[in-house]
Structure 1
Amino acid sequence: MQDIYVDTVTAINFNNGIVRMIMVDQDPDSLADGVDAGAEANAAQDIRLRKKQQVIMPLNGFLYMVSVIKGLIDDPKMQDIISRHAQAGLLPGTAADQPRAPAE
């Protein structure tokens, strides 16, 4: 088995029963170019993403993966971690001053 590190998924496409996920990481060239650490507000905009890996799977495999991820998200330990990240404003679409609605 080969391990591949990615920072996130930037796109998911579904066509003709096949799901394609594009995974990226931070471009090391942009990191090496010296993004100013003091300008943290603009740092996220300055760092370029690099296409790293593509996962292609049939719809039934993707849907099974979604159910596995949902099980992880619903775990009380993960809910605590998500809550702390949301309160700190570290999750996209959340702010430190906006409480996150509890999971149903």
Structure 2
Amino acid sequence: MKLVTFGERRLFLGDEAADALTRYAATLAARGAADTVTLNVIGSDGHAVAATLVLNQGVALIAESAAYSFDEPDNSDAVAYMVQETGVQRARSSNTLTQQEVDEYRDFFGDI
């Protein structure tokens, strides 16, 4: 279980979801992108709620370990989405060439 501070709110979230959230938020920020993610969380009052978080460059997000005995909320769909979108965002900024681009380069410049 992790305690996530998002702006002025403190939310309890499962380890896997908190880790996926921090990686996704960092990836979006590095690329100047934004998205929203809805997660099942435990609020600071101990109640289970769905929280929609806006992730962008200006987000202040901290995830720290927490020794609480809450049952982790199910966020399997949200985790799958964040992991997938983290990969998509990273691939968009990749400088790798497609095979077609390599072939066109070779056709124009020849083998170097």
Shared topology, TM-score over 0.5?
A: no
TM-score by length of 2: 0.19
TM-score by length of 1: 0.20
Q: Which has the higher contact order (CA 8 A, sep 6+)?
A: 2
